[in-house]
Amino acid sequence: MKVRITVMKKAHYADLQKEYELPQEIPCNMRTGQIFYTHGERPDGMCDSAWQTLLPFVEQLLAGGGKFYGEWMKNPKSAMLSCNDGFRPVSFLLEAIDD
């Protein structure tokens, strides 16, 4: 079993950036439609901060878990999550799939 991680959507809050954020050299390199696969290790190219958010869900999916927060997802072996970047959050779809 492995987990497929798909970048579904990116948001950008320029008003919050302008008011609160210091300039960033490379703020986010995720691309909508980008796909990663993992057996539990951080995939190459995956943002460290996003990975820290996703990892507990990846681990649960790899262990056969699912049904996060009850009947949240149509596919119980999946999760829709966002990274913790308040200026430009990225939404990820995690899905447990067979190798």
- Residue 27 predicted with pLDDT over 90: no
- Answer yes or no: are the C-beta atoms of 81 and 53 closer than 8 Å: yes
CA atoms within 13 A on the CB side of 76: 6
State the amino acid at position 13 in one-letter form: Y
| Domain span including residue 47 | 2-97
Strand ranges (DSSP E) for 1-55?
2-10, 35-38
Residue 28: per-residue pLDDT: 84
The residue type found at 50 is A
Assign 69 a pLDDT band (cuts: 50, 70, 90). Answer: confident
Q: What is the mean pLDDT of residues 1-11?
A: 97
SS3 of 82, please?
A: strand
Domain count, the chain: 1
Tens-digit pLDDT profile for residues 78-93? 999 999 999 999 999 9
**Residues above pLDDT 70, as percent of the chain:** 100
Give 38's strand partners: 3
